[in-house]
Structure 1
Amino acid sequence: MKRVLLLGNCHFTIARFRKELVCKLVEIGYDVWISFPNFSQGEKESGEEAAKRFNCNFIEFRLDRRNANPLKEIGTYRECKRILKTVKPDYVFTYTIKPNIYGGMAANSLNIPFAMNVTGLGSGFNKKVLSKLLFSLMEKNMKRAEKVFFQNNKDLTTFLDRGYKGDNCVLIPGSGVNLEEYRELPYPKETAKKEILYLARIMKEKGIAEYLKLAEQFADDPNIVFHICGDLEEDYREIIDEYALKNVIIYHGTVENVQEYLEKVCVVIHPSYYNEGISNSLLEAAASARPIITTDHPGCRDVVVEGVSGFLFEKKNAKDLIDKFQKFMNLEWDRREQMGLEGRKFVASKFDRNIVVNEYLTCLEEKWESERA
C-alpha cells in the first residue's frame, strides 16, 4: 500500500479545501496522512478529529506561520524532516509557501518524491529583500519537484518570466469548489434587508480597510447590514471592535458553516489585493449563486464575469468599491438574482473540484507508472 502525505500551513488548507482528495485517496487504497498546525486559525476541529472523519492519519506540524526570520526557519525545516522521517511517505503534496519550501527541502534530502502547490505567492513576495530569498528557495525546490501546480496564470508567468523552464508545471483551477456541498441557494426576498458579506482573513492585503470604508459610507441606512466572517489578525482587533460597537459592522469570527451566512446575503464583497491563488471564498460564494464584487486582481478577477456575475473594482480604491456597490444596489432585484445564477453556472463549468482531484491522481499514477517502466 502506497503512503501519501499532505502537508499544509493550517486546518482549512487540508481539511476543508483538500478533503475530497483525501477521501478519494483513502477510497482507492492509499495510506493517507495529513499534517498541519492544530488550531492556528480559530477552527474548532483538531487535526486528529479531521483525520478520524476522513479515515486517515494525522501528525501535527509545529509551524509559526507568521515568522519571517530565516534563522528561526531552520526549525521549520527540521520539523518537516521530523514529520517525513516519522511518516515515511512514498509521495508528498505540499501546500502554501512554507510547506512548499521547507517540506520540499526535507523531502528532497530524504529522496522522497513530492509535488508543490503554489496556492498564491502571499505577502512575502511583496517585500523587496525577502522576495529575492523566497524566489530563490522556491525555484530550487521547483526544479526538484515531480510537479508544480499553479492556481492562476499570473503566478505561473511570474516564474516563467524569471527564466524557469516550466516543464513540470501544471495550471489547475485553484482548489476548485465542491458543487454538491456548495449548492445553489435561493436568493433573499426582495423585501428583506440587504445583507452584505466579507468572507476572508481580516488583514490589510485582504482589503479590510476598503470594506470598512464602504460599511461606514452606508452606516446610516437601516436596510443594509455589513457582516464580516474570518480569522482576526491582532493588528485589527481594536478597529473591528470599534466598528462593531458603533453598529457599522457585525463580526462573527471564524465560521465553520459558511453556507449559513451565504444563505442570508445578497452579495459577497472581496476587496483583496493579496497574492491569491484562486480565492476560495469567491468560489464558494459563486457556487452558492451569490453575486460578487471583487478586485481586478489575479486570483479574484478569474472568478467573475464582469457585469454578468458581478463587478470588478480597482484594488486599494475604496471610492471605486463604493461606486460599484452603489451600481449593484441600483439594479433590479431579478437582475441581482440572475447575476448569482450566472456565477454558479460559470464556476460549475471551470472550477469543479473534481477537475483538481483528477489532476493529483494523474500525478501519482504517472509516478508509479514511471517506477514500473
Structure 2
Amino acid sequence: MRIAIVINTSWNIYNFRMSLIKALLTEGHEVVAVAPHDAYADKLIEAGARFVPVMMEKGTNPFKDILLTWRLYQAYRQVKPDVVLHYTIKPNIYGSVAAHMAGIPAINNVSGLGTVFITKDYISSIAIKLYRLAFQYPAKVFFQNQDDRRLFLRNNLVRAGITEVLPGSGINLQQFQPAGGFRKVKCFTFLMVARVLYDKGVVEFVEASQLVKQKYPKVKCQLLGAVDELSRSGIKRQQLEEWLATGVVEYAGYTDDVADFIAEADCVVLPSYREGTPRTLLEAAAMAKPLIATNVPGCREVVQHGVNGLLCRARSGADLADKMQQILQLSEEELEKMGNASRKIAVTRFDDRFVIDRYLQAIKEVARKKHT
C-alpha cells in the first residue's frame, strides 16, 4: 500500500515518526512524507520515503488555511495514497477535509491540543468549530491520553466509535537507554527540554530556578529547545536573553542529540500547561531519570507522584521550586530508585512497538473497509 504521513514540519516526521516509517517500509509499504520542505526532507528521502513538499504557514489566517486545504487536496490527488496519516493541528483539520474531498481514508492523531484549549479566545472557539467539521471524516482518531479524548467527546467534536487512546508516540527503548547507575554529582543539573514557549512553562522554570539557586547556588538549571517566536505562545529571543543575563538559567540551544543532554542531567523537568504525551518525559523516563512535571493531562500519564518523580501545580514557579528542592534533598539511593521506576514505566507502558503495531493494524482495517 501507499501511505502518506502528513505533519506540519519535516523535522517532526524525522524526529518523531521514523520508527513508524521504518516499520511501514519493512512491511513492504510505500511511504510518502507530505510536509513543508526543510533541512530534514533529504533525511526522509535517504531513509527510503518519498517526499512531497506542501507549504503550511503558521497562524490562523482563514484565506491561507483554505489554500492549505487546496494544496493538500492537490497533493493527495497527485500521490494517490491508500491511507493518509495526519498529525498536528493543521493536517488534522485541513488534511481531513482534503482527504475526504479526494476520497482517501484518513487516520488522525491528536498528539497535543496546543494553545487551542489552553487560551480561551475567539481563535480557540473557531478551532473547536473547525475540529467539529473536520473530524466527521477520518476513519480513525488516535488520542495520546484519556483527558484529550474525553474533552473531544464532551464537546461533540468526534464520534466515540472511531476513537482510541495510544501511549503517546511511544519511545524507542533501544535508542534511549540508561547510562548506568545514578551518581549525584557536585553540580546537580535540572534539565528542561522544550520549545521556548509560554505554554511549556518556561517562565515558571526561570522563576523556580531563581528560587532554588538562592538556597542551592551551585545547582545548574538548563533549558534545551528551539526558540519559536512565530508561535502563538512564543517567547521573544530578547526576553530569553534578559533571563540568561541573570545567570539563573543556562540556555543550551537546540540539538537533535537530546539523549546526550539527558544523560548528563540529574533530573528532567517539564512544567507544561498541557500535553498529549510529552516526548521529553518519555525519553528521560527511558533513560532512567527522576522527573518533575505539572499535574496536567499528558504529563501525569508519565510521572507517578512519589514513584518516578514529583508532580507540581501548573503555572506556579513557587510550587515547581518546592518540588525541585525536594528532589535535591533525596539521597543517591532514593534518586536511583526513582530513575529505575521511570525506566520500568517506559518499558511496560510506552514501548513504541505497541504504537507501531496498532498503526499497522489500523491501516489494514481502514484499507479493508475501503475495498468492501
TM-score (normalizing by structure 1): 0.93
Q: Which residue of 1 aligns with 2:80?
A: 88
In structure 1, the partner of 2:222 is 227
Conserved 8 A contact 1:188-1:263: no
Give the drift of 1:222.
4.5
**Counterpart among 177, 183, 192 of residue 177 in structure 2:** 183
Task: Supply the distance in 1 between the matched residues of 2:64 and 2:10 (Cα, whole angstroms).
Answer: 22
Bigger mean CA offset, 129-138 vs 145-154: 129-138
Please state whether the residue corresponding to 2:256 is helix, strand or coil. coil
Residue 125 (structure 2) aligns with? 132
Residues in 2 aligned to 1:194 and 1:49: alpha-carbon distance in whole angstroms: 36
Q: In structure 2, what is the Cα distance between the partners aligned to 1:338 and 1:12?
A: 35
The answer as to whether partners of 2:171 and 2:352 remain within 8 angstroms in 1 is: yes
Give 1:300 shift: 0.6
In the alignment, does 2:147 pair up with 1:154? yes
Q: Please give the alpha-carbon distance, in whole angstroms, between the structure 2 residues aligned to 1:291 and 1:236.
A: 30
State the 1:187 CA deviation: 4.6
Conserved 8 A contact 2:109-2:142 = yes
The range that moved more, 28-37 or 362-371, is: 362-371
Query: Which residue identity lines up with residue 110 of structure 2 in the other structure?
Result: V
Secondary structure, counterpart of 1:124 in structure 2: coil
- Which of 204, 210, 215 aligns to 1:216? It is 210
What corresponds to 1:262 in structure 2? Answer: 262
Which residue of the other structure, out of 71, 80, 91, is the alignment partner of 1:79? 71
The one-letter code of the counterpart of 1:77 is T
2:54 alignment partner AA: F
Partner of 2:316: 317
Contact 2:105 2:370 in 1 (8 A): no
- 200-209 vs 139-148, which moves further: 139-148
The aligned counterpart of 1:119 is 111
CA contact (8 A) 2:211 2:318 kept: no
Shift of 1:87: 1.6
Task: Give the Cα–Cα distance (whole angstroms) in 1 for the partners of residues 251 and 135 of structure 2.
Answer: 40
**Unaligned ranges ≥5, structure 2:** 230-234
Report if aligned partners of 2:199, 2:272 keep a CA contact under 8 Å in 1: yes
1:264 and 1:33 map into 2 onto residues whose CA distance is: 36
Superposed displacement of residue 250, structure 1: 1.7
- For residues 242-271 of structure 1, the C-alpha deviation after alignment (integer angstroms, 9 at most, x for no partner) is 232332222122211011101111000100
Return the alpha-carbon distance in structure 1 between the equivalents of residues 245 and 101 of structure 2: 52
Task: Give the 3-state SS of the residue equivalent to 1:196 in structure 2.
Answer: strand
> Pick from 53, 57, 78: which aligns with 1:60?
53
Local SS of the residue matching 1:218: helix
2:240 corresponds in structure 1 to: 240
Q: Does residue 286 of the first structure (1) align with residue 282 of the second (2)?
A: no
Structure 2 partner of 1:42: none
**Identical columns (%):** 32
1:144: Cα distance to partner?
A: 1.3
Deviation of 1:104 after TM superposition, in Å, equals 0.8
- Give the secondary-structure state (helix, strand or coil) at the position aligned to 1:263: helix
Q: Distance in 2 between matches of 1:340 and 1:355?
A: 22
User: Which digits, 9 at most, give the CA deviation of each residue in 1:221-240, with x for residues without a partner?
Assistant: 44211111111133331122
User: 1:293, 1:340 → 2: CA distance?
Assistant: 12
Shift of 1:127: 2.9
- Find the aligned partners of 2:57 and 2:72 in 1 and give their Cα distance: 12
How many residues of Structure 1 are paired with residues of Structure 2 in the alignment? 364
- Would you say 1:103 and 2:103 are equivalent positions? no
What TM-score comes out, normalization by structure 2 length?
A: 0.93
**8 Å CA contact retained: 2:212, 2:324:** no
Q: What is the DSSP-based 3-state SS (H/G/I as helix, E as strand, rest coil) of the residue aligned with 1:184?
A: coil
Q: Is the 8 A contact 2:14 2:43 kept in 1?
A: no
Q: CA deviation at 1:372?
A: 5.1
Give 1:219 shift: 3.7
The residue type equivalent to 2:254 in the other structure is: T
Q: For 2:344 and 2:295, locate their aligned partners in 1 and report how far apart those are by CA, in whole Å.
A: 20
Deviation at 1:38, TM superposition (A): 3.2
- For the residue of structure 2 that corresponds to 1:32, the secondary structure is strand
Output the CA distance in 1 between the equivalents of 2:333 and 2:35. 43
* Structure 1, unaligned runs of 5 or more: 40-44
What amino acid is the match of 1:180?
A: Q
Residue 172 (str. 1) matches residue 166 (str. 2): yes
The whole-number CA distance in structure 1 between the counterparts of 2:78 and 2:223 is: 40
Query: Using the alignment, how far apart are the partners of 1:187 and 1:75 within structure 2?
Result: 53
In structure 2, the CA distance between the partners of 1:188 and 1:115, relative to structure 1 (3 Å rule), is: same
Q: Deviations over 1:159-216 (max 9, x none)?
A: 2112343111111111111111111222553343101101001111100000001222
Confirm or deny: 8 A CA contact 2:192 2:222 kept in the other structure: yes
More displaced stretch, 289-298 vs 69-78 = 69-78
The whole-number CA distance in structure 2 between the counterparts of 1:89 and 1:191 is 52
Q: 2:252 and 2:209 mapped to 1: Cα distance? A: 15
3-state SS of paired residue (1:59): strand
> What's the offset of the Cα at 1:371?
4.5
